[in-house]
Structure 1
């Protein structure tokens, strides 16, 4: 792995941490800009480096660095109600990157949809378990309010990634 690749992966881990701090509390799961940067990491860096950048982010938070929403960190956050969303970030970045690598610009949309879908799936499952198995309530609180917001984030990520990929050769 080249130094430039490591730097880009570190940059997107840091951007995801910054995006976590831009937070609007609306219930057990806040609206943040994390999803935007998770998608961007895969769309811009590709599957391997996107995955790596989000693994770095998750590990930083797991060891206690305050990189999660509201300057939280530690394994208790990953085990808490929003942990499923966080654990899904590396997978989402990988999917966004994989489809972009395979299908180009058209793959950005598919990868973004699948990436957001895996974030919702794992987040919803963890939130449902945290709520004592009330998966319907977990869906209403942890997925439904985010659909329009994350659709906008995905669209913005695609536009930004397309421009960045044209301007900067990564990898």
Structure 2
């Protein structure tokens, strides 16, 4: 990795941490802006660097840095009700980045971002369902469905931001 990649990775780790603090509590799964940063890290950096960015974010939070929602940290978050969502972040960023690298069509970037969002929902729903004692229907109703409209808008916004940044800064 060169200095530019290290700097951009660190920047997006910090942006993901800040976006986690912008939250609206909705039960066991809060509404945050993390998904926006997860998608942007892949769309703007690359599949590889997006994955690395989110993996570093998870590692830093797991070892206790207070960078998860509500200025919290610790390994318990990866095992708790939101653990599946968090663990999906590197993969989701990789998927969004892969679509941005492979395709020029912005609609395919949106499709990749929505696929990435689906991965976050799938892993989050599975973990939350297990946390709720196998009540996957309840997990769907409290951990996925309330978030779909807003997260879909965030995916579209992420693509718009990424395209604007890449037009303004082609070297990005």
Could you state the TM-score of these two structures normalised by the residue count of structure 2? 0.97
C-alpha separation between the residues in 2 aligned to 1:65 and 1:156? 28
Identify the residue that residue 33 of structure 1 maps to in structure 2.
Answer: 33
Residue 110 of structure 1: how far off its partner (Å)? 1.6
Deviations 1:113-136 (A, max 9, x none): 111000000000000000000000
Unaligned runs of at least 5 residues, structure 2:
none
Where in structure 2 are the equivalents of 1:1-171 lying within 5 Å?
1-104=1-104, 105-168=106-169, 169-170=171-172
Residue 167 of structure 1: how far off its partner (Å)? 2.1
Residues matched between the structures, number: 170
Deviations 1:83-127 (A, max 9, x none): 000000000000000011111233311210111000000000000
Checking the alignment, whether the CA contact within 8 Å between 1:25 and 1:31 is kept in structure 2 is yes
* Aligned residues: CA RMSD: 0.8
Q: Secondary structure at the match of 1:56?
A: helix
Could you state the TM-score of these two structures normalised by the residue count of structure 1? 0.97
